Amino acid sequence: MQILAEAEDLPKTANIKTQLISLWTVPVFGVVFLIAFIAFPGFLPPMSPNLTADQVAAFYREHTAAIRFSMVTYDLLGVMLIPFFMVIVVQMKRMTTQSHVFAYCYLTAAVSGATVFALANIFYLVAAFRPERNPELTMLLNDMAWITFIAPVGMIVGQNLLLGLAVYFDTSQSRPRSPAGPVFPRWVGHFSVATALAIAPAAMAAIVKTGPLAWDGLLSFWLRNGAYAVFLVVMFFVVRAALQRQAVSEGVAA
Amino acid sequence: MTDVASPSTSDTESGAAPTTPKAGKRDVWIVFFIVPAFYTAFGIIFFALTRTMPPPRPDITTAQMVDFFENHSTTIRIGFGLLILIVGGAGIANGIVMYHMKRMSTGSVLAYSYMGGMAVGALPGCLLVAICFLTATFRPGRDPELMAFLYDLGLLSYVGSLGCFSVAYFAFAIAILYDRNEIFPKWLAYISVWQIVTEILAVPVFVSRAGAFAWNGSISFWMGTVVFGIWLSCVIMFLKKATELEPVDAPPLD
């Protein structure tokens, strides 16, 4: 984005710049997440929930360093998506034809969701902290880690449905009085709802141990995580375009 | 619609308007209706399905705790499986309260405080017990001592997460008392103060294994639950009223 020279020091320019920086957390930390994902020895392929306690303990003994590297990375940087969620909140609050109740609900759900994400990696790290622990205990920690990581999808599902609703209610037209028009194109609403639906079945991962809904299954692992990764990539470009429109409409960029 | 139209034309023109709520906005109404729907599901999940309301006794043997998980395995899985899917409703319920608090004359500080307390409280207050109980029912053959650990961790976090909600009730009460926009009635603030009292009276659950102050006791559990039920009913009732009284043409919130 080309910031106009005369707008360089204006407060509204800083607002655009901080949003841009927050948005860029997505590709930067996305790469970091990808590295941590590949580095975890139990993701490619995902660990089966049907391993015995001794097999789980052996996994933590044999791969201690890689598990620690991967999960410390998630611990330190996993919640770095919060600035991105906050850009979405701020963009939802630019929608002129609604009360912004969706934005506040989205904000609350995003904060709650982050607490869950911040907990999951701790369980992996505790299991790896003393790999010589009684295998029954290591398996318990591993179960809690996987269940906390994969299954509590309610907050993400809620966030995406709220974003979808906000887009549907953003009915402003490009008129002389409100030149900006809708903040996001309408398909973003469908896309957000579709992502929520793709993620929802993973709640079953806390219940079943085999098949596509198990935590290592096609739906609960690959579709859930894949859909969210695609959502992040697409939303990076969508939000970047929205920021460009905001900057132009506010006279910050040409 | 023109304001000088004849009665007959205005009836036909605005034919759809009287059936929709006269005041309030459609997006706030959508969010509002999620609140009673979510808490109804919440009640069914905790009372009927997962048997955490009223909570099972703290003063039983390890074998009896294992029996509890065994006897209620199916309903725990259905109930908490559903909870982790729909828990976004908690974020939405908190979001609409925050929204109406921001409409008060008391400014945003207390609204944000309410959101902070409630959003963090979702993890210890309802998600952790779901994770613990789902982990317990995930592998029925686990060492009984570990089942007892999950039983205690789940129930103590569920009944004993005190501060997150206390800060939210505190912010809620102060906001209502100082508000001049009459968003909620003043007496709702005093019920919120009682909510804080019940949180304080739940402190002994971490010490007491039987009697009135145990996690299933008449004071620590029942009194708190009754007050919570009254409080929640009032909040839902007055969220409805606040939404009704909100002008349709109110500008979006800052």
- pLDDT over 70 percentage in chain A: 97
- Sign, CA dihedral A205-B80-B172-B167, equals negative
**Distance between A202 CA and the closest CA of chain B, angstroms:** 9
Interface test with A, best of B27, B72, B96, B183 (most A CBs within 10 A): B27
Q: How wide is the angle at C-alpha A248 spanned by C-alphas A93 and A19, nearest 5°?
A: 45
B134 contacts A147? CB cut-off 8 A: yes
- Specify the pLDDT at position B4: 41
- Specify the pLDDT at position B123: 95
**Ramachandran region, residue A231 (left: φ > 0; alpha: ψ -120 to 50; beta: rest):** alpha
Q: How confident is the model at residue A178 (pLDDT cuts 50, 70, 90)?
A: low
A108 contacts B118? CB cut-off 8 A: yes
Maximum C-alpha span of chain B: 79
pLDDT digits (tens, 9 = 90+) for A191-201: 999 999 999 99
- Specify the pLDDT at position B91: 95
3-state helix, strand, coil in chain A (%, to 5): 70, 0, 25
- Sign, CA dihedral B1-B6-B11-B12, equals negative
pLDDT digits (tens, 9 = 90+) for A36-61: 999 999 999 999 999 999 999 999 99
Is residue A170 within 8 Å of residue A98, measured between CB atoms?
yes
B80 touches chain A (CB under 8 A): yes
Q: Across all residues in chain A, what is the average pLDDT?
A: 93
Interface test with B, best of A104, A148, A149, A210 (most B CBs within 10 A): A104
**Distance between A38 CA and the closest CA of chain B, angstroms:** 26
Measured distance CA(A245)–CA(A250) in Å, rounded: 8
Measured distance CA(B48)–CA(B182) in Å, rounded: 37
Length of chain B: 254
- Specify the pLDDT at position B20: 41
Count CB neighbours of B62 within 10 A: 15
From the number of C-beta atoms within 10 Å of its C-beta (0-12, 13-18, 19+), residue B98 rates as: buried
- Specify the pLDDT at position A11: 86
User: Span A20-42, mean pLDDT?
Assistant: 95
Measured distance CA(A210)–CA(A208) in Å, rounded: 6
A152 contacts B130? CB cut-off 8 A: yes
B252 contacts A98? CB cut-off 8 A: yes
Is residue B199 within 8 Å of residue B134, measured between CB atoms?
no
A197 touches chain B (CB under 8 A): no
Identity of the amino acid at A181: G
- Specify the pLDDT at position B2: 39
Measured distance CA(B189)–CA(B193) in Å, rounded: 6
A226 pLDDT exceeds 50? yes
- Specify the pLDDT at position A7: 84
Closest partner CB to A155 (pick from B87, B138, B139): B87
Is residue B76 within 8 Å of residue B49, measured between CB atoms?
yes
- Specify the pLDDT at position A172: 80
Closest partner CB to B27 (pick from A99, A155, A203): A99
Buried b (16+ CB within 10 A) or exposed e, A159-170: bbbbbbbbbbbb
Measured distance CA(B199)–CA(B235) in Å, rounded: 18
Is residue A162 within 8 Å of residue B92, measured between CB atoms?
yes
Block means of pLDDT (10 residues each) for chain B, 254 residues, are: 40 40 73 96 93 91 95 95 96 96 94 96 95 96 96 95 94 97 95 95 94 93 94 96 89 84
Q: How confident is the model at residue A175 (pLDDT cuts 50, 70, 90)?
A: low
A244 touches chain B (CB under 8 A): no
Closest partner CB to B86 (pick from A96, A154, A159): A154
Closest residue of chain B to A111, computed from CA coordinates: B119
From the number of C-beta atoms within 10 Å of its C-beta (0-12, 13-18, 19+), residue B69 rates as: buried
* Whether pTM exceeds 0.95: no
Closest residue of chain A to B143, computed from CA coordinates: A136
B85 contacts A200? CB cut-off 8 A: yes
Buried b (16+ CB within 10 A) or exposed e, B171-207: bbbbbbeebeeebbeeebbebbebbbebbebbebbee
A3 touches chain B (CB under 8 A): no
Instruction: Kindly state the tokens that stand for B31.
Output: 């969010």
- Nearest CA among A74, A83, A70, A75 for reference residue A26: A83
Domain spans, chain B = 23-245
From the number of C-beta atoms within 10 Å of its C-beta (0-12, 13-18, 19+), residue B237 rates as: middle
- Specify the pLDDT at position B7: 42
| Cβ–Cβ pairs < 8 A, chains A and B | 161
Measured distance CA(B87)–CA(B89) in Å, rounded: 5
Measured distance CA(B111)–CA(B63) in Å, rounded: 46
**Distance between B91 CA and the closest CA of chain A, angstroms:** 5
Contacts of B84 in chain A (CB under 8 A): 151-154, 203, 206
Closest residue of chain B to A160, computed from CA coordinates: B88
Q: How confident is the model at residue A220 (pLDDT cuts 50, 70, 90)?
A: very high
Buried b (16+ CB within 10 A) or exposed e, A180-207: bebbbeeebbebbbbbbebbbbbbbbbb
3-state helix, strand, coil in chain B (%, to 5): 70, 0, 30
- Specify the pLDDT at position B22: 39
- Specify the pLDDT at position B150: 97
B13 touches chain A (CB under 8 A): no
Q: How wide is the angle at C-alpha A28 spanned by C-alphas A25 and A33, nearest 5°?
A: 100
Coil, helix or strand for A46?
Answer: strand
Count CB neighbours of A43 within 10 A: 15
Closest residue of chain B to A201, computed from CA coordinates: B85
B118 contacts A105? CB cut-off 8 A: no
User: Span A135-145, mean pLDDT?
Assistant: 97
